[in-house]
Amino acid sequence: MTSYKARIQQQLGLVQMLQASGLNTYSREVSSGCGPTMRVEGKECINFISNSYMGFSVHPKVIEAAKKALSKYGLGIGGSPLACGTTSLHLKLAERIAANYGTESALVFATGYQALAGTIQGLLGRGDVALLDNLDHRSIIDGCALSGVKIRSFIHNDMQDLEQLVERTAKQKGHRMLIVDSVYSMDGDVAKLAQINEICRSAGVTIMIDEAHSLGILGKNGKGLLEHFDMPNGADIISGTFSKFAGAVGGFTAADREVIDYLRHYSSPFVFSASIPPAVVAAVHTSFELLESEPEWHKLLWENVDFMLKGLKQLGFDTGNSETPVIPIMIRDTEKVLRMNRQLLDQGVYCSPVVHPGVPLKMERLRLGVMATHTSDHLSSALETFGRVGREYEVI
Give the residue at shortest CB distance from ligand PLP: 112
Beta bridge mates, 208: 179, 237
- Please, which of residues 3-62 interact with ligand PLP by CB under 6 A? none
Binding of residue 113 to ligand PLP (CB under 6 A): yes
Task: Give the count of residues interacting with ligand PLP (CB under 6 A).
Answer: 14
DSSP 279: H
Under rule CB under 6 A, residue 117 binds ligand PLP: no
Q: Which of 47, 86, 147, 185 binds ligand PLP (CB under 6 A)?
A: 185
**Candidates 64-72, 111-119, 197-205, 230-238; binding stretch for ligand PLP (CB under 6 A):** 111-119
Choosing from 101, 105, 130, 181, the residue that interacts with ligand PLP (CB under 6 A) is 181
Q: Is 143 in the site for ligand PLP (CB under 6 A)?
A: no
Of 57, 243, 253, 287, the one binding ligand PLP (CB under 6 A) is 243
- Distances 77 to 73, 105, 132, 282 between C-alpha atoms, Å: 7, 22, 36, 13
47 close to 54: Cβ distance less than 8 angstroms: no
**Subset of residues 315 to 354 that bind ligand PLP, contact rule: CB under 6 A:** none
**Measuring CA to CA, how many Å separate 88 from each of 32, 92, 94, 253, 285?**
31, 6, 10, 18, 12
Q: What is the smallest separation between the CB atom of 315 and ligand PLP, expressed in angstroms?
A: 26
| Position 139 contacts ligand PLP (CB under 6 A) | yes
Q: How far is CA 90 from CA 84, 86, 212, 288, 293, in A?
A: 11, 6, 19, 14, 21
Q: What are phi and psi of 8, to 5 degrees?
A: -60, -45
- Minimum gap (Å) between residue 339 Cβ and ligand PLP: 25
The smaller minimum CB distance to ligand PLP, of residues 348 and 358, is found at: 358
The strand pairing partners of 207, in sequence order, are 178
Is residue 252 a contact point for ligand PLP (CB under 6 A)?
no
Tell me which of 111, 147, 319, 324 binds ligand PLP, using CB under 6 A: 111
Question: Alpha-carbon dihedral of residues 116, 134, 363, 51, nearest 10 degrees?
Answer: -20
CA 311 → CA 52, 193, 256, 314, 381, distances in Å?
Answer: 21, 29, 43, 5, 11
> Which one of the spans 1-9, 25-33, 166-174, 210-218 is the region binding ligand PLP (CB under 6 A)?
210-218
Let me know if 2 is exposed, middle or buried by CB neighbors in 10 A (0-12, 13-18, 19+).
Answer: exposed
189 near ligand PLP, rule: CB under 6 A = no
Q: For the chain, what is the radius of gyration of the CA atoms?
A: 21
Residue 137 found at the interface with ligand PLP (CB under 6 A)? yes
Residue type for 264, please?
R
Judged by beta carbon, residue 370 or residue 379, the one nearer ligand PLP is 370
Q: Which of 210, 227, 236, 364 binds ligand PLP (CB under 6 A)?
A: 210
Instruction: For residue 222, state whether it binds ligand PLP (rule: CB under 6 A).
Output: no
Contact between 293 and 286 under an 8 Å Cβ cutoff? The reply is: no
Residues found near ligand PLP in the complex (CB under 6 A):
111-113, 116, 137, 139, 181, 185, 210, 212-213, 241, 243, 251
